[in-house]
Amino acid sequence: MSDTTELTRKDDSAMTRREGDASQRRITLTPPVDIFEDSQGVTLWADLPGVTKDRLDVKVHDGNLFIEAEAAVSTPAGLRLQHAEVRQPHFARAFSLGADLDASKIDASLKDGVLKLTIPRRDEARPRRVEVRTE
């Protein structure tokens, strides 16, 4: 990550547990991400194993990017679940977007439990070549 993008982690907790009735207990996991930056923008890869498109929510609000998802972990046919520490993991992560990134043009794709977000720079924030004339 580079300071020039102002893409920073907002929530740094590795795991949060919401207490309550044992059947209602929910564990929120922070998905690991890889962030790459170039002159065109930022590409973010988030690992969300077991997550499908219908259980994924990506939002941008007030210059922040929010990723929330819930995994569906099924029990194989013919087996009975004896013990599960994380039955339906909930993933959550938030980032602050820099002013040079164009949140209205974010491209998102999900393949094999990996979310790819491409966040382009605003046209005026991209480096451009200045033509020099000779006189």
Return the pLDDT at 110. 96
Which pairs from 29-33 meet CB under 8 Å and 24+ separation? 29/86, 29/89, 29/90, 29/91, 29/92, 30/91, 30/92, 30/93, 31/67, 31/69, 31/91, 31/93, 33/93
pTM of the entire predicted model:
0.72
Question: Has residue 93 been placed in a domain?
Answer: yes
For residue 114, what pLDDT is reported? 96
Mean pLDDT, rounded, for 55-69: 95
For residue 67, how far is the Cα from the chain centroid?
A: 5
| Average confidence (pLDDT) over 72-85 | 82
The total number of structural domains that make up the chain: 1
Task: Look at residue 22 and tell me whether its pLDDT is greater than 80.
Answer: no
CATH number at residue 107: 2.60.40.790
- Domain membership flag for residue 132: no
pLDDT tens-digit readout, 90-135: 999 999 999 899 999 999 999 999 999 999 998 776 777 888 988 8
Q: Residue 1 falls within a domain, yes or no?
A: no
Q: What is the pLDDT of residue 84?
A: 77
The reply to whether 3 falls in a domain is no
What confidence tier does 25 reach under pLDDT thresholds 50, 70, 90? low
Q: Which domain holds residue 109?
A: 8-74+84-124
Band (pLDDT 50/70/90 cuts) for residue 8 is very low
DSSP bridge pairs for 35: 44
Scanning the chain, the segments in alpha helix (DSSP H) are none
Q: Is residue 79 part of a domain?
A: no
Within-domain flag for 129? no
pLDDT band at 39 (very low <50, low <70, confident <90, very high): confident
135 located within any domain: no
Residue 62 lies in a domain: yes
Q: Is the pLDDT of residue 18 over 80?
A: no
